[in-house]
Amino acid sequence: MKQWVEHFNGRMDAWGRKLHEKEIRIPIDLVTGLVFALFALMVLLVMPDQVAISEKDVVNGRAFPTLLMTVMLLCCAMLIGKEVYKLATKQPLNWKVINVQVEAKALAILGILLGTYFLSKWTGLFVVGAVFCCLGFLLYFRCRKKSYYSITLVIAVAIWAAFRFVLGVGF
């Protein structure tokens, strides 16, 4: 078992080192401007379907969201315009470096969170998800101290019990 763990950790380290070297550079302001301009346009597009109004209304329920999306579009136009101007005048753009290893680790954490959610939901027992969460994170951190496992599990059950029996939450 110990050997298997060492072997697994070794492979993960090697994989991590490879990923650590991989980086993605994105022109952050340009991308943000484009993403949110598209988002604002989409919201404006779905608005007639999603916001019912009465013809008699002087100011209807679409007025405020439309105002917000107009402001958002203006902000996006400013962001994009600024970056396009930089491109035209050959000034350096605002770049953001995204490390693939960090994103892979974040995905692993997201996996633990989703696992906790689905386990709790499917079993109907929050405590099952809580135990999975503890084990998942301790394994993620490659914790070898047995005491940490027992402490965390005891606290997890205690939190569930406090919500269940003290605060009366039904899970």
Partner 1 sequence: MLQYIVPATGLLFTLENILWINLGVFIGSVFAAIPGLSVILCVILFLPVTYSMTAIPGMMFLLGIYCAGGYGGSVSAILINTPGTPHAAATMLDGHPLSEKGRTKAALKIALYASTFGGVFSALMLLFLGPQVARVAAQLGTAEYFMVCVFGLTIIAGVSGKSMIKGLISACLGLLISCVGSDPMTSYDRFTFGISRLYLGLDLAVCLIGLFALVEIMAKAEKRLDRLNLDTTQIKDDGVITKAEYKRMARPVLLSSIIGVMVGIIPGTGASEASWFSYNTAKNMSKHPEEFGHGSVEGIAAAESANNAVTGATLIPLLTLGIPGDGTVAIMLSALMINGLNPGLSLFTTQGDIMYAIMLGLILVNIFMLLQGKFLTSLFAKVVSIPQEILTPIIVIFCFAGAYSVNENYFDVGVALIFGMLAWILRKLELPPVPILLGLVLGGMTETNFRRALLISNGSPKIFFSSVYCIIFLVLILLAVGAIVRGKMKERNAQKEE
Residues near partner 1 (CB under 8 A) are: 28-29, 31-32, 35-36, 43, 46, 50-54, 57-61, 63-65, 67-69, 71-72, 75-76, 78-79, 96, 98, 102-106, 108-110, 112-114, 116-117, 120-121, 126, 129-130, 133-134, 136-138, 141, 143, 145, 148, 151-152, 155-156, 159-160, 163, 167, 169-171
CB of 143 to partner 1, least distance (A): 5
* Cβ distance to partner 1 smaller for residue 93 or 113: 113
From its phi and psi, is residue 51 left (phi > 0), alpha (psi between -120 and 50) or beta?
A: beta
- Shortest separation between residue 151's beta carbon and partner 1, angstroms: 6
Q: CA torsion, points 144, 149, 141, 122, in degrees to nearest 10?
A: 140
One-letter amino acid for residue 165 of the chain: F
Q: Minimum CB separation from partner 1 for residue 19, in Å?
A: 11
CB of 87 to partner 1, least distance (A): 17
Question: Beta partners for 96?
Answer: 26
Torsional sign, CA 34, 37, 41, 47: positive
Structure tokens of 20? 């650590």
Tell me how far apart the alpha carbons of residues 45 and 50 are, in angstroms, rounded to a whole number.
Answer: 10
